[in-house]
A and B are shown apart, each in its own frame.
Chain A
Amino acid sequence: DGGITQSPKYLFRKEGQNVTLSCEQNLNHDAMYWYRQDPGQGLRLIYYSQIVNDFQKGDIAEGYSVSREKKESFPLTVTSAQKNPTAFYLCASSPEAQGDAKNIQYFGAGTRLSVL
């Protein structure tokens, strides 16, 4: 089935450690996004990518990094510089980077990151 796969479902980070969250899509979508969700805060955009080998910072990019080496993959690294990483992380993709369809986003099931 086509969809967006996020792994792992649960992840634990030790102090000073970088961790990487995986996001893979087989929908042939051009654009991909990473959001952070905290209780009562809605979704906040971390990074997004409209095309392979290109990405832009969102509203809360500090302490995070991404890469887009393949169309289907958009991993997110939570670095040790992110002092409050405990949250639910959602990856999304969109069929197009331009036009009306760019606004339709499809979401993975999320990764819950906790700090040990």
Chain B
Amino acid sequence: AQSVTQPDIHITVSEGASLELRCNYSYGATPYLFWYVQSPGQGLQLLLKYFSGDTLVQGIKGFEAEFKRSQSSFNLRKPSVHWSDAAEYFCAVGADDKIIFGKGTRLHILP
């Protein structure tokens, strides 16, 4: 069965530091992969997506993610975080007629 695992429930980083959020997926075929961000009390906004081609994808707000088939991973990275990046981040995989979401990683930023 398809699944998405985000191993870290909470992550805290200092403003200006680099960030990596982990995501592992289980899916038999070539996956469609996504990262979404959610601010408190709001809907989800698409940060970036991977369908095929270059395994390093660029997204909005300075985020990027790398698809590694051998590790079944799609980790999200940002070289320098800003206080406004504090939010919850969801990794997702497109599977048949629906998208399966991970349980999310909440990012906290220290000033």
Contacts from A to B (Cβ < 8 Å): 4, 6, 33, 40-43, 45, 48, 50, 56, 58, 90, 92, 100, 102-110, 112
Contact = CB atoms under 8 A, between A and B. Distances in A.
Contacts, number: 54
Q: Which 4 A-B pairs have the closest CB atoms?
A: A103-B94, A107-B43, A42-B103, A43-B101
Given A107-B43, A110-B42, A50 B102 contact: no
Interface residues of B, number: 21
Given A109-B43, A110-B43, A56 B101 contact: no
A33 B43 CA distance: 13
A58 B41 CA distance: 23
Contacts of A104: 34, 46, 49
Given A105-B99, A110-B43, A43 B90 contact: yes
Interface class of chain B by DSSP? strand
Interface in B35-68: 36, 41-46, 49, 51
Contact of A90 (B43, B102, B103): B43
B101 A58 contact: no
Nearest to B32: A103
Given A4-B43, A42-B90, 8 more contacts: A42-B103, A102-B97, A104-B34, A104-B49, A107-B43, A107-B44, A107-B45, A110-B41
24 contacts: A4-B43, A6-B43, A40-B104, A41-B103, A42-B90, A42-B103, A50-B97, A56-B97, A90-B43, A92-B44, A103-B51, A103-B99, A104-B34, A104-B46, A105-B46, A106-B46, A107-B36, A107-B43, A107-B44, A108-B43, A109-B43, A110-B41, A110-B43, A112-B41
